[in-house]
Structures are given as C-alpha cells and as structure tokens.
Amino acid sequence: MADFTHFDREGNAVMVDVSEKAVTERVAVPRGRVFMKPAALATIANGGHKKGDVLSVAQLAGIMAAKRTGELIPLCHPLPLDKVTVSLSCNAADSAVDIEATVKVTARTGVEMEAMTAVSVAALTVYDMCKAVDRGMRIGDIRLVRKSGGKSGTFEAD
C-alpha cells in the first residue's frame, strides 16, 4: 500500500515538494451529479427558474472555484491553470444534473483537486439556486474519471 504523501515521518502535515518533478502537461476530468425531483429538473431545463439560468451560473462558479483551489484545500499547490471547462446538462432519465469538468495545466503537479473542486462547487451552486424548489436534492457520484500526465501517467476509471 502506498504511503500518504502529505505527512512526514512524525505524522506532521506537509506540502509535497514537487521541485524535482518534470514539468508536463496534466489533465484531469471528474464528473458528478445533482439528483432532484423531476419538477425541479424541468424548471432548470425550461429556463423558468426565478434566479436565472442555473446551469450557466453553476458553470461559472465551477470555473471560478478551480482557480481558487490552492486557497481552499490545505497543502494544495496554487497552479497557473491553462484551461478550465465545466459542462452541465439535464438528465431526465435519472432526474439529475450531470456535471463534468476538464482542467489542464503545464506544471510539476496534477490538477485533480482543481477539477474535483470545479465539479463540487458547480453542484453546490445548483443546490443553492434550486433549494427553494427541492430541499431534498442530493449531490453525489463525484469522482475522477480520467487523468493524464505526470509520473503516474494515465488513469481511466472503471
């Protein structure tokens, strides 16, 4: 089993030293979902929400969050992101908003946390904007589905 990288031998929290790593292009793609009542999803899909375009606002929130990840996640390196995209779509079959982010950087460390933060904050924004319509919404299925670059190479989720 691999050791946790954010602790020293005494168990103290440490920021990983990436100074010896090669600068490479790194990409991370996670997905997540916000499950809700069909009526709430229909309101989003029809653009009839009183607060405005839920998907566009959540998209922007996700992009902004990716850029601030180094301030939000302890020990996370602040990175000069090259690209951040966040897409949201209504999935009527599962009564959910599906969210996917793609984050790209050319750096010494990966962008998994930035990408996961983008999806998480986009999901939270959907919840915040729609909670008056459906307080029973559930955020879930947030996970890394693909990453490339760096020493560990490519990862594809099952």
Which tens digits make up the pLDDT trace of 121-132?
999 999 999 999
Residue 88 tokens read as 């949201």
User: Which residue in this structure is represented by tokens 């933060």?
Assistant: 117
Q: In 3-state terms, what secondary structure has residue 119?
A: helix
Number of C-beta neighbours around residue 41 at 10 A? 23
- pLDDT value, residue 36: 98
Local confidence band at 107 (pLDDT 50, 70, 90 cut-offs): very high
Distance CA 120, CA 40 (A): 19
Vertex 66 angle, CA 63 and 52, to 5°: 30
Sheet holding 155-156, edge to edge: 83-91, 96-107, 24-35, 138-148, 155-156
Which tens digits make up the pLDDT trace of 41-63?
999 999 866 777 999 999 999 99
Which tens digits make up the pLDDT trace of 84-105?
999 999 999 999 999 999 999 9
- Asked if residues 27 and 149 have their Cβ atoms less than 8 Å apart, the reply is yes
Would you call 158 a catalytic residue per the annotation? no
What is the DSSP code string of 36-89?
A: --HHHHHHHHTT--TT--HHHHHHHHHHHHHHTHHHHSTTPPP---SEEEEEEE
Q: Which of 94, 128, 134, 158 is catalytic?
A: 128
Distance CA 57, CA 36 (A): 18
Distance of CA 121 to the CA centre of its chain: 7
